[in-house]
A and B are shown apart, each in its own frame.
Chain A
């Protein structure tokens, strides 16, 4: 069974600084997703990573995938308050396997 581990689980960011969330998974995953969840809301898709070496960027967020290391990272550049949310790393074999989530708080 595919298991996904994220760290850190909580991340307090200072505005303007850079941070990285790490995601390790246990077995082969067909694809790797990153989602954002705001309090009381459902999931917002951020990235879908399909192959080794994949890198995707959207605004201040950049996600990468290393299938050999079974590692994905979500890098946040120059954090801003709007990025405060919970971020989930999700692997997929025959079903989705969610990481525990990383709760991000951006402070001034």
Chain B
């Protein structure tokens, strides 16, 4: 099967610091990776779509300068939450797919708590 990992699985940081979350496709090459955010008892909300080697496409309302996404290789995408604040505390989930008509495979998620 297709496996997607995320690191770290949870992180606690102080307000104002930056946090980087990694998303890796372990056994396939992912042309596209997606980043989602999920607040407690809510559904998943797509934040951005990233294609390898190009700039990410952000959904409306998502600050691209705050949530920096890099997709430098076909197996790795990173999400950096810059100058994190308590309202950024959430469950961040990435997904990856091989191609346009392919199924997305979800990572295990990263829980971020900003104090």
Would A96 and B46 count as touching, CB distance under 8 A? Answer: yes
In angstroms, how far is the closest chain A Cβ from the Cβ of B108? 5
The complex places the Cα of A39 from the Cα of B105 at a distance, in Å, of 19
Interface residues of A (CB under 8 A from B): 30, 33, 35, 40-43, 45, 48, 88, 95-96, 98-101
The complex places the Cα of A98 from the Cα of B49 at a distance, in Å, of 15
Q: Is B93 an interface residue when CB atoms closer than 8 A count as contact?
A: yes
The complex places the Cα of A7 from the Cα of B5 at a distance, in Å, of 31
The complex places the Cα of A5 from the Cα of B104 at a distance, in Å, of 20
The complex places the Cα of A41 from the Cα of B93 at a distance, in Å, of 10
The complex places the Cα of A45 from the Cα of B3 at a distance, in Å, of 12
Q: Which 3 A-B pairs have the closest CB atoms?
A: A42-B109, A98-B43, A43-B106
- Apart from A95-B46, A96-B34: 20 A-B pairs, beta carbons within 8 A: A30-B101, A33-B103, A40-B111, A41-B108, A41-B109, A42-B109, A43-B93, A43-B106, A45-B105, A48-B103, A88-B44, A95-B34, A96-B46, A96-B104, A98-B43, A98-B44, A98-B45, A100-B42, A100-B43, A101-B43
B33-58 to A contact mask, C-beta < 8 Å, 1/0: 01000000011111001000000000
Complex contacts, A96 vs chain B, CB 8 Å: 34, 46, 95, 104
Would B106 and A42 count as touching, CB distance under 8 A? Answer: yes
In angstroms, how far is the closest chain B Cβ from the Cβ of A59? 18
The complex places the Cα of A40 from the Cα of B41 at a distance, in Å, of 10
The complex places the Cα of A48 from the Cα of B111 at a distance, in Å, of 27
Complex contacts, B108 vs chain A, CB 8 Å: 41-42
Q: Could you say which of A33, A43, A96, A98 has the most chain B C-beta atoms within 10 Å of its C-beta?
A: A43
**Residue A42 contacts which of B34, B42, B43, B93 (CB distance < 8 angstroms)?**
B93
The complex places the Cα of A19 from the Cα of B9 at a distance, in Å, of 34
